[in-house]
Amino acid sequence: MKIILASTSSRRKELLTQMGIEFEVKAPEIEEDMSQKVNFKKLSEILSKQKCEDVFNRTKGNRLVIGSDCMVYINKHLLGKPHSREDAINMLTMLSGKWHKVFSRISVMVKDNNGTREYLCHDVKKVKFKKLSTLDIERYIDSGEYADKAGSYAIQGGAGMFVEKIIGNLSTVIGIPTHKLHDILKQENIL
C-alpha cells in the first residue's frame, strides 16, 4: 500500500522517516483559513481533514494519506504561523517565561480492497519557555527558522534552547503525534 504524507514539512518527513515508514510526499492544495469562528481544537480538525482529503481525492489506488495540523495556544490566544517578522516577535514575546499548549491533530484516510476508512486523533502537550531577552528573540528571528512554524518556533531546532520544561511527547510538539499514528498504522497492518 502506498503511504502519502499530505505535507511538505521537513520536520514531519523526519518523524515518518524515524518511524521506519516508506512514504511519498504530496503537498495539499488548500488555503489554511485561520479566521473560522470555531475553537482551536475544531479548527485543527478541519484543517488536518482538509489537507488529508485534498491529497486523498487527487491520488488513486490503494493508499493511506496522512494529514496533520499543529497549533500553539496560550491564554485564549491561538498562535498559528506568523505572517511577518513583527508577528513572530510578538508571538515569542507572548510565550516568553510562560506555559503554553501545543495541539497536534492527524487525519488519516485509507483506501484498499476492503473499502475506505478514516481516522482522526489528536494529542495535546504543555511546553514552558524560559524568560527570553529581546536579544534572544531577535537572534532567533534572524535565523529565519521561525517562518512557517506554529507559534513561530521549531522545538527541534534553535528554539529548543528556549524550552525550560515539556510535559508529553516531543513528536506532538514537532508536528505529528507519532505514538498515535503508530496505533493507526498497526491497526491497518502496516507496522
Q: How far is CA 12 from the centre of its chain?
A: 8
Of the residues 33, 69, 123, 183, which is catalytic? 69
Sequence-ordered strand ranges (E) for the chain: 2-5, 24-25, 63-74, 77-79, 99-112, 115-129, 163-167
Backbone angles phi, psi at 146, to 5 degrees: -65, -25
Q: Would you call 146 helix, strand, or coil by DSSP?
A: coil
| 170 closest CA partner among 126, 132, 120, 121 | 126
| 126 closest CA partner among 101, 156, 158 | 101
List C-alpha distances in Å: 9 to 31, 100, 162: 16, 22, 22
In angstroms, rounded to a whole number, what is the distance separating the alpha carbons of residues 185 and 37?
Answer: 33
To the query of whether residue 142 is one of the catalytic residues in this protein, the response is: no
**How crowded is the C-beta side of 82, counted as CA atoms within 13 Å?**
21
Q: Which residues are known to be catalytic?
A: 69
